Structure 1
Amino acid sequence: MTFETPEYDDSAPFEVSRSPESALPRPENEGANVCRVSAISMMFSGDGTGVRQVAPELEDMGFSQSLASGEHVWPQTHPLEQFPNLRQQGYEEEGRNRVSLWQGLNEEPQPRSATAYLVAVLGSGLERESAAAAAALWRQTGTLEGVPREAMWEAWHHLLHRWWPFEMAPWFPMLDGPPGLGMEGTDPDEPGSGLPWDAQLWTRMFDESVPRADPLTAPIVIHWLARWRLELALRSTDPVTRSLAMALLPQEEGGPPTPSQGSAAPSTSANVSTMIHGTWGWEGDWWRPGYDFHSFMLPHRPNLYKRRGTPFGWNGRYKRSARRKAGTEFQHWVAQEAPNGLQTLFGHSYGGEVASRAVLLGTPVSELVLLSTPANKYVRAAVSTPGVRVVDVRLRFDPVLFLARTRQRLPNHPNVTEVLFNRWCLDHGATHRPNMWAVESVMALSGL
């Protein structure tokens, strides 16, 4: 099958379908297949509640009712137990047998069926869906604990023998450590290093490697293929592809949320509003005075911070410790710059967690506007804080959040107004794009 590299529009809408034929690797199906892959990754996390929260969307994209209900989740499934016999899956056929694999997953919702579909999507020449599959598979094969040493050597010989004659990309896949080392400070909205996507080379490598792998070496082959694919995705010129891969960069473990003492109610003279960017967002500019989203909101919030100095910014590193520190630093920033408290606080992605941590620390905030924010324990605790009105703006289905294995719905709460985009969109940053606010009527629906 020949793949043409599409001209991507970050916020372009797409359609989903329940038809099995929509599993084929075609540009018009790519958005739906990215979402399917990320949903399967969440199922492997074991979080049935997180899956169940988006059941209507999952059914719209063709998942069976039992899969969409969160009834089937597979935490801690060992790689050697989940891989089917790849030689029997027909990956060398046009479309890599994806329609039957997708139907097989819905008919037999088991780890092996899910993995077979993910492997097929990994081999796609379409850039975004293959990157999403690599992200999902990397989590499943990241440790390879218990794999016999002789199988590792056999897989190494198998791949080296088949890959070495080909023109190699600058990054060989057998690098030590996780993908993306040294890229934690990179902004997915900023241009990559300009590495062009070579669909034909990628599918050729896949076809030379995967169908010949035996059940013992298959997890290792897929592990290294996913590793290499993620390195390529992190250096893509397409920001959506980079955001899908960046969802996999490692984080350290964190403790329980700080117990809420209740947010101090702002005084009636609260006269400052501000914005907090998300992970990797420091190098971006949407939240800065004079740039797009700040300028878009300024007529509605004339008190947006734009005076001396710069608006609050944090290092944007993909670490819980960085977000914890940022929450404390933002509390201090508010005490200095807005002693009467904040009227409206906007937070995008993990910037919403930073804002939530500040609320839990007692920072006086009247209105918290969350933009594509993971619905993790800190955010769930903050939105129930008395006296804080919450506006929760989200994509209908956000594959970046599911690849990061975080929930994407807040529980119902009387002080929360949820605004879901009607259109399907892959752009995690779409919730701070003025054109999307206009076409989705966010101002009117949110009451802002």
Structure 2
Amino acid sequence: MTEIGAEDDGTKAIVISSEIESAAEQEEFQGLNVCRSAALSTLFGRDSIAVQQLAPEMRAMGFSEQLSSGAVDWPDITPEDLIPDGGSHQEAYRDGGIPDRVQLWQILNDTGSSRAAYPFLIAVLGSPLERESVAAAATLWRQLSKFQGSQTLDPGALFMLHSVYASWDWGQGFTPWLSVEPYTDDLHVIPWNPQQWEDSYRKVMDQWRPAGENPKVWQGVFVLCRLAQLRLEIALRSQDVVTR
């Protein structure tokens, strides 16, 4: 492992590691997993030149030779991409739909498939570590927001999402529920509450249950998009300048 960056202005050095275990939810590896989410966004963007330029750094972060070569051309997301496709993907989900991020990181690098990238990001999204969860949210939002409002949803899912949003203190009674983009004006500061975020994440994942029988594909797209938006809304109000 190596460290990059000085510890000034309250920002810790980023630990760089190619070890599979570094994908785990640990403060030591938070900066590394932020960078991995950003690199995945570049892969989704199909910018082969940018990937090639980042190849040494991506390899140092544990991306496979295939993923860091610039030769991967991931297709546009479909709702079905969010559902585990059996085998090891299915086994990587545990605890009623919560994905095992270390196993999914391994699968992603073994297969080079975007169908492993999405579940990995969904897992990082649920992290109680503030910066890595919002980095995953930003990458997911860019991919999922195109599907907003495209299908009729289960009223139970809408009620659940509304209650999750309403559980956060937005200040002066404002809840950014009806907006289609993260809200940016007159922001009320929301101190980071990792336990509340984990609770919100688990409520959504419990509703979706991606590893269960007959997963609700379109509902999964919508609730995950709204969950990513919620995380971005909270981040815009963070006391942490890096998160904002």
TM-score band (shorter)? Answer: 0.7 to 0.9
Superposed displacement of residue 123, structure 1: 0.3
Residue 131 (structure 2) pairs with residue 128 (structure 1):
yes
Looking at structure 1, the residues matched to 73 and 33 of structure 2 have their Cα atoms a distance apart, in angstroms, of 19
Q: Residues 230, 8 of structure 1: CA spacing in aligned structure 2 closer, same or farther, 3 A cutoff?
A: farther
Amino acid at match of 2:243: T
Partner of 2:193: 198
Name the SS for the 1:15 alignment partner.
Answer: strand
Q: Residues 146, 81 of structure 1: CA spacing in aligned structure 2 closer, same or farther, 3 A cutoff?
A: farther
Residue 110 (structure 2) pairs with residue 107 (structure 1):
yes
Superposed displacement of residue 75, structure 1: 5.0
The Cα offsets for residues 339-370 of structure 1, whole Å up to 9 and x where unpaired, read as xxxxxxxxxxxxxxxxxxxxxxxxxxxxxxxx
Looking at structure 1, the residues matched to 206 and 94 of structure 2 have their Cα atoms a distance apart, in angstroms, of 6
Partner of 1:436: none
The answer on whether the counterparts of 1:91 and 1:207 sit within 8 Å (CA) in structure 2 is no
Partner of 1:178: 181
Partner of 1:48: 48
Partner of 2:95: 92
Partner of 1:83: 82
Superposed displacement of residue 176, structure 1: 1.5
Q: Root-mean-square deviation (CA), in Å?
A: 2.8
Superposed displacement of residue 76, structure 1: 2.9
Q: Report the structure, 1 or 2, having the larger helix content.
A: 2
Q: Residues 205, 156 of structure 1: CA spacing in aligned structure 2 closer, same or farther, 3 A cutoff?
A: same
The answer on whether the counterparts of 1:18 and 1:59 sit within 8 Å (CA) in structure 2 is yes
Higher relative contact order (Cα pairs below 8 Å, separated by 6+ residues) = 2
Partner of 1:26: 26
TM-score (norm 1): 0.46
Superposed displacement of residue 64, structure 1: 0.2
- Overall identity of the aligned pairs, in %: 38
Looking at structure 2, the residues matched to 9 and 100 of structure 1 have their Cα atoms a distance apart, in angstroms, of 34
Looking at structure 1, the residues matched to 148 and 230 of structure 2 have their Cα atoms a distance apart, in angstroms, of 20
The answer on whether the counterparts of 1:123 and 1:202 sit within 8 Å (CA) in structure 2 is yes
Task: Note the residue ranges of structure 2 that are not aligned, 5 or more in a row.
Answer: 1-6, 209-214
1:279-290 correspondence to structure 2 within 5 Å? none
Q: Residues 8, 84 of structure 1: CA spacing in aligned structure 2 closer, same or farther, 3 A cutoff?
A: farther
Partner of 2:13: 13
Structure (1 or 2) with the larger CA radius of gyration: 1
Amino acid at match of 1:15: V
Amino acid at match of 1:240: V
Amino acid at match of 2:134: A
TM-score (norm 2): 0.81
Looking at structure 1, the residues matched to 27 and 9 of structure 2 have their Cα atoms a distance apart, in angstroms, of 13
Looking at structure 2, the residues matched to 31 and 159 of structure 1 have their Cα atoms a distance apart, in angstroms, of 29
Task: Note the residue ranges of structure 1 that are not aligned, 5 or more in a row.
Answer: 1-6, 184-191, 243-448
Amino acid at match of 1:108: T
Q: Residues 20, 173 of structure 1: CA spacing in aligned structure 2 closer, same or farther, 3 A cutoff?
A: farther
